[in-house]
Amino acid sequence: MEPGPSNAAPLHPARILISSARKPVSYINLAKRFLSEHGEVQLSALGIAIASAVAVAEILKSRGLAVEKQIVTALETLADDNRTRQKPKLEIMLTKSADFETIIFKETQEGVQGSSGLHADEAEAALGGLALQDT
């Protein structure tokens, strides 16, 4: 017996698998690129990485780059060697905001520094306490 449903929907072309091993800010550039290329981005996370996915979505929303389109929750069934377990799953679909192009243009013109386009104080303010919960 193969794990997972046989009628699973195809994966979204602008899907980002969020990990708890990386800081949420590290996903911002990829999310911005997917928003630019596809007009939307899907953030997907399991278990403790859910807090990081929420943080990424909130950073993009607070910067005016994206708006929520859909939030889906589920229990993902994972099969290990001899047991099956369920983990919470969250998928957040974001679409490009009406001001996306203007904001990206201004960021480019201002020469925003850093790999994420966020200054450390901006990232901390956008994350709030979420980064502390992700261990």
Q: What is the pLDDT of residue 127?
A: 52
Angle subtended at Cα 115 by Cα 110 and Cα 117, rounded to the nearest 5 degrees: 40
Q: Show me where the domains of the chain are located.
A: 15-120
Q: What is the pLDDT of residue 107?
A: 87
| H helices present in the chain, as ranges | 28-38, 50-62, 100-110, 120-127, 130-133
- What's the rounded Cα separation, in Å, for the pair 66 and 16? 15
> Is 3.50.50.60 the CATH classification of the domain at 15-120?
no
Q: Which phi and psi (to 5°) does residue 47 adopt?
A: 55, -130
- Work out the pLDDT band at 10, boundaries 50, 70, 90: confident
pLDDT, tens only, 69-118: 999 999 999 988 889 999 999 999 999 999 999 999 998 888 744 444 55
pLDDT, tens only, 14-60: 999 999 999 999 999 999 999 999 999 999 999 999 999 999 999 99
- What's the rounded Cα separation, in Å, for the pair 55 and 127? 5
Other CB atoms within a 10 A radius of the CB of residue 112 amount to 14
Tokens found for residue 77: 């069934």
Predicted structure pTM score: 0.75
Q: What is the pLDDT of residue 3?
A: 44
Q: What is the pLDDT of residue 19?
A: 96
